[in-house]
Amino acid sequence: MVNRPPSPAPLDDLGTPYDGPSPARRVVSLVPSLTEALVSVDRGAVMGATDWCTHPADLDVPRVRGTKNPDLTAVAALAPDVVVANKEENRELDVRRMREAGLRVWVTDIRTVPDAVDSMERLLDGLGWARPAWLGRARELWCGPLPPVTRRVAVPIWRDPWMVVGSDTFTSDLVRRLGWDNVYATSPDRYPAVDLADLDASGADVVLLPDEPYVFTADDGPEAFRTPTELVSGRLLTWYGPALVEAASLA
């Protein structure tokens, strides 16, 4: 008999080992994109989610408040094998407090679309779950060479004050992979605040107005601009689960 060394524990995106059950059977998700992705693989294992986890629409699980203010007592009461979080969307303080309380937390870190695909594969493999067909399709759609630029865009995410998608963000990379150039892609800030006049003079061919995190509508947003505007799904611009396959249709 050959004595083989034990397999190393899988690591999350920040290098923290996961030493829980494989497959994980009780998961709490604090990230809307990841909730949708996890439910697509094993709905029954998702034991809790945030109030902002709106997809799938029929998900019926306990809610643990928001991404920035999760009810950590409620999370612990669900006795999860693992809590899934994201470096940008969730607070490091909450991750630390959950770990101090004895909970396992898997943290993702996503800045580009290929990052998202890699991270999702790492997460599912680490939890001992199968990779779904949509994830392979997302890799085919998004992880190849960059297409030619066909138009220049700006992507506000808030008003009063106006804020836009800047550099080093998933959304900026996604629009570039759609063939669009984010006019704020070289900003030193990831989500810079801008004056409306500067935004209108930015050189964008079109201003994309998503419905999250600020809910831009036909009556709230387009009237502010001289530049042409388009209302778009925030989920397709900012979510990195199954929405990635749908997002390719924006091109």
- Mark which of 140, 174, 200 sits at the end of a domain: 140
Long-range contacts of 132-137, Cβ-Cβ distance < 8 Å, separation of 24 or more: 132/37, 132/40, 132/41, 132/242, 134/40, 134/242, 134/244, 134/245, 135/37, 137/245
Please report the pLDDT score of residue 124 as a whole number: 98
Domain span holding position 95: 27-140
Residues 87 and 157 in one domain: no
Residues 58 and 93 in one domain: yes
Please report the pLDDT score of residue 155 as a whole number: 98
Residues 132 and 104 in one domain: yes
Q: Is 85 helix (H, G, I), strand (E, B) or coil?
A: strand
Residue 146 within any structural domain of the chain:
no
Residues 220 and 159 in one domain: yes
Residue 7 within any structural domain of the chain:
no
Residues 87 and 49 in one domain: yes
Please report the pLDDT score of residue 8 as a whole number: 85
Residues 37 and 109 in one domain: yes
pTM of full prediction above 0.85: yes
CA dist 251 → 15, 165, 179, 182, 236 (Å): 35, 18, 7, 14, 11
Residues 37 and 117 in one domain: yes
Residues 194 and 122 in one domain: no
Alpha helices per DSSP H over the chain:
32-42, 72-77, 92-100, 113-127, 133-142, 170-177, 196-200, 234-238, 243-247
Residue 13 within any structural domain of the chain:
no
Please report the pLDDT score of residue 168 as a whole number: 95
Mean pLDDT by runs of 10 across the 251 residues of the chain is 68 97 98 98 98 96 98 98 97 98 98 97 98 98 97 97 97 98 97 96 98 97 97 96 96 88
CATH classification of the domain holding 83? 3.40.50.1980
The token duo for 106 is 């898997």
The token duo for 225 is 């601009």
Please report the pLDDT score of residue 5 as a whole number: 58
Residues 49 and 68 in one domain: yes
Residue 42 within any structural domain of the chain:
yes
Residues 97 and 168 in one domain: no
Residue 207 within any structural domain of the chain:
yes
Residues 176 and 87 in one domain: no
Residue 72 within any structural domain of the chain:
yes
- Mark which of 97, 119, 140 sits at the end of a domain: 140
How many angstroms from the chain centroid is the CA of residue 212? 12
Residue 3 within any structural domain of the chain:
no
- Mark which of 94, 113, 140 sits at the end of a domain: 140
Please report the pLDDT score of residue 4 as a whole number: 61
> What domain count does the chain have?
2
